[in-house]
């Protein structure tokens, strides 16, 4: 199962921590993001899949937004920031 990083964010956009969890798929990771948002009383959760190789790139999976914002879940297949940056 792939590992995912979840960044719960506050209303001002700041994420003070992250949570690492495994999930079977991106869709299941987004379901976990919704649970994390509710458990941590935050307005949303950014979801990333860390690079699996040193030269690879982290991948932005999506964002779950809810609790005080219009609820939405966006998934992206685009790569994100470089894992070595």
Counts for the chain of helices (H) and strands (E), in that order: 1, 6
Number of independent structural domains in the chain: 1
Domain of residue 76 covers 3-82
pLDDT in tens, 27-81: 999 999 999 999 988 899 999 999 988 888 999 999 998 755 544 455 555 544 4
Give pTM, 2 decimals. 0.74
46 close to 15: Cβ distance less than 8 angstroms: yes
Distance CA 3, CA 21 (A): 6
């Amino acid at each position: 199962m792939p590992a995912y990083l979840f960044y719960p964010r506050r209303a001002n956009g700041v994420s003070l921590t992250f949570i690492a969890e495994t999930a079977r798929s991106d869709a299941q990771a987004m379901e976990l993001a919704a649970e994390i948002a509710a458990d941590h009383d935050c307005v949303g959760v950014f979801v990333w899949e860390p690079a699996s190789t040193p030269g690879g790139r982290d991948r932005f999976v999506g964002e779950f937004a809810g609790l005080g914002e219009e609820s939405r879940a966006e998934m992206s297949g685009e790569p994100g920031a470089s894992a070595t940056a």
